[in-house]
Structure 1
Amino acid sequence: MFEAALMRGDGLDGLRVLLVALSLAASIGYLAVESRPPSSLRTGLKTAAIGLWVPLPLLALPDAAALPLALLAFAFFLSSAGDFFLALKGDARNFTRGLLAFLAAHLFYLAIMVPLASRPEGLVANAASLVTGAGALALYFWLRPNLGKNQLPVGVYLVTILFMALAALAIPAAQPWLGLGAVLFVISDGVIAADKFGRPIPFRGPIVWTTYYGGQALMALSLMALLR
């Protein structure tokens, strides 16, 4: 998957590998400072971890499918913007801004994946689809009494990310990594929601970041390999 996603023999392979390495370094750096109070360093590392992925789909143009790759770049950009807002803290509106940015990112992911989706193939993909769907619905109804005015936005977000994950699991050519990445993304957001609206989750920060970054990386590499 790594080779198919990044190695195209067009003279830009080294740049692609460098961007991925810098992204991984930023991710590890953020994990090291995640528990600290908000700072420029902390915010910058969190934003850069996915932000460094933005050029990757664009480097494949014009030799590959232009529209899906452009949509993928926008999905990375919006995810990075969501990370930026969530890193700021202090202002409750930043959570809403981050939520909207990630909602838009999931819609871009959906726009890429729905045309490629058919149905889950195999026991693992079907079981993962069932468990992910049931888990997302159970989480929403558990949190619902505590959501207050956030019932609608959280509900819309949950449905959107659920459809994104189900679409990812329904692309047989990209399994298992695309499906695993999407499920990790759902787990990350589920932990955030449970911690914010339910009860405190031990080791929330490391759990959220490792599942989120790992999920995004697997989705990114899978889709870039698929779209080449």
Structure 2
Amino acid sequence: MLEEVFMRGDGLDALRIALALLSLAAAIAYQLIESRPPSAPRTGLKTAAIGLLVPLPLLALGQGPAVPLILLAAAFFFSSAGDLFLALKGNARNFPRGLAAFLVSHLFYIAVMIPLASAPDTLALKAASLAVGLGAIALYFTLAPSLGKLKLPVGAYLVAILVMALSALAIPEGAPFLGLGAVLFVISDSVIAIDKFRGGVPFRGPIVWVTYYVGQALMAASLLTLLAA
């Protein structure tokens, strides 16, 4: 899968590899300072981890369908914007701004994946889809008493990420890690929500960041493989 993403022989392979390595380096560096107080380097590293992936679909234009590749770049961009808002502290509005940015990101992911999706064709995928769906419903009703005015925005976000994950799980052929990446993304956001609205989650920082970044990386590699094959 990695060879199909990075080694295309079009003269841009080195740039693709450099962007991926810089993204990974930013993600690791952010995790190392994640527990420190907010600062410009901390915010920059968190934003850059996914922001550096934005050019990858655009570098594949001409090797695959243009619209899905542009939509995928937009999904990465709005995820990075969500990271930026969530990294900024001191303004209560930054959380809903981050929520809105990630909601838009999920909508772009859905637009990319729905045309590729079909009904899950194995018992494992059907079980995973059912578990994700039931988990999302249980999470919402667990959080609902603490959401206040955010009930509707959080509900809308939950529906979007659920559809995104189910779409990923419905694309088994040629993308064995796509569904896993989406589920990790869901786990990351669920931990954030539980921590914010229901109380502290032990080891919240590393759990959220590792599942989020690995999930996004698996989705990126899988979708780039599918779209620019």
- TM band (smaller chain): over 0.9
Partner of 1:125: 125
Task: Measure how far apart 1:64 and its partner are.
Answer: 1.4
Instruction: Provide the rounded CA distance (Å) in 2 between the counterparts of 1:89 and 1:100.
Output: 16
- Tell me, in whole angstroms, the C-alpha distance in 2 between the residues paired with 1:9 and 1:120: 34
1:127 aligned partner, one-letter code: A
| C-alpha RMSD over aligned residues | 0.8
In structure 2, the CA distance between the partners of 1:108 and 1:166, relative to structure 1 (3 Å rule), is: same
Q: Distance in 2 between matches of 1:63 and 1:146?
A: 48
Q: What residue in structure 1 maps to residue 218 of structure 2? A: 218
CA contact (8 A) 1:72 1:112 kept: yes
CA-CA distance at 1:87 after TM superposition: 0.2
Please say if 1:23 is aligned against 2:23: yes
Shift of 1:175: 3.5
Q: Aligned partners of 2:215 and 2:81: how far apart in 1?
A: 17
Residues 174, 223 of structure 1: 8 Å contact kept: no
Alignment of 1:15-94 (within 5 A): 15-94=15-94
Structure 1 residue ranges without an equivalent (≥5): none
AA of the residue aligned to 1:71: L
Q: CA deviation at 1:63?
A: 2.4
TM-score calculated relative to the size of structure 2: 0.98
Q: Specify the alignment match of 2:193 in structure 1.
A: 193
Gaps of 5+ in 2: none
Deviation at 1:125, TM superposition (A): 1.1
Query: Conserved in 2, the CA contact under 8 Å of 1:169 and 1:175?
Result: no
Mapped partners of 1:121, 1:37: distance in 2? 47
- The one-letter code of the counterpart of 1:86 is L
**How many percent of aligned residue pairs carry the same amino acid?**
70
Runs (4+) of structure 1 exceeding 6 A deviation are none
- Amino acid across the alignment from 2:220: A
Partner of 2:104: 104
Query: How far is 1:199 from its partner?
Result: 1.9
TM-score, with normalisation over the residues of structure 1?
Answer: 0.98
